[in-house]
Amino acid sequence: MRNRMIAGNWKMNKTYTEGVILAQGLAKELADGSGDVDVVVCPPAVDLKGVAEVIEQEAAPFALGAQNVYWEEKGAFTGETAPDMLTNVGVRYCIIGHSERRGYFGETDEDVNRKAKALMAHSLIPISCCGEPLEVREAGTHVDFVVDQIKKDTAGLTIEDPSAYVVAYEPIWAIGTGKTATADDAQEVCAAIRATLTEVFGATTADGIRILYGGSAKPENVAGFLDQRDVDGALVGGASLKADSFAAMVRAAM
Ligand code: PEP
């Protein structure tokens, strides 16, 4: 049994003050709880502590996620954030391998793999992103492309609790473009991801790992994705920046 997950990636949006206001708004929207749905918000690093305080003060039914991490414990890595620093401010999840980090900052599958290991060593839950660019989709090799990413991203990982590792399938051509994959497109790749996870970790573990869809998901279309057998939730960018639209997506998942 996999609990659904709705995770919001605020990206480089919301100052500290705006982030606190958004988190307060979300706490109000979700005052009646989120049922069995695991809700996660991933603000910019400087907002994490403020959002953590809102979660605590309001007993809000969502958890805190970061957008990036470095795999070393500490030291001369200017600008980076260690896993320990995340746990210390109440972070429980961390996005890794987002296509924007891969595309703009050169994050490789090997980096994603090291980050996953470092996070899990600190009991942080990776939300590990994968997904193909438009030219790969148009060439029809998207399934092979994503399967290869999953194999590299999970190499040598040990997963004892399947709820402690999350995959997000985000076709790059559908991120922030308003172009969504169809529910069938998402299911095709998510099923291939689960089959690959089965090869790597065995069926029991793979059956318990959440696979999210991301890419222009919004209140109007999220139900179609959630209906798919291998889609267990959504990673949401733009529509997570307003409390009402994000809460509507949580309610659609309940
Ligand atoms: C994302 O970047 O993770 C994302 C899914 O963005 P959007 O929902 O805006 O397409």
- Contacts of residue 110, defined as CB under 8 A and 6 or more positions apart, other chains included, come to 152
- Give the pLDDT of residue 74: 97
Q: Which of 29, 100, 132, 170 is catalytic?
A: 170
Q: What domains does the chain contain, in order, with CATH numbers?
A: 5-253 (3.20.20.70)
- Give the pLDDT of residue 69: 98
- Give the pLDDT of residue 177: 86
- Yes or no: say if 22 and 253 are a contact pair by the CB < 8 Å rule: no
- Give the pLDDT of residue 176: 84
Q: Report yes or no on whether pTM surpasses 0.85.
A: yes
For ligand 1, atom 6, name the residue with the nearest CA: 237
Q: Is 122 a catalytic residue?
A: no
Q: How much distance in Å is there from the Cα of 76 to the middle of ligand 1?
A: 32
| Mean pLDDT in order along the chain per 10 residues (254 residues) | 96 98 98 98 98 98 98 98 98 98 98 98 98 96 98 97 98 88 96 98 98 96 97 98 98 98
- Give the pLDDT of residue 55: 98
Q: How much distance in Å is there from the Cα of 71 to the middle of ligand 1?
A: 24
> Helix, strand or coil for residue 234?
strand
* Unique residue bearing structure tokens 């939300």: 127
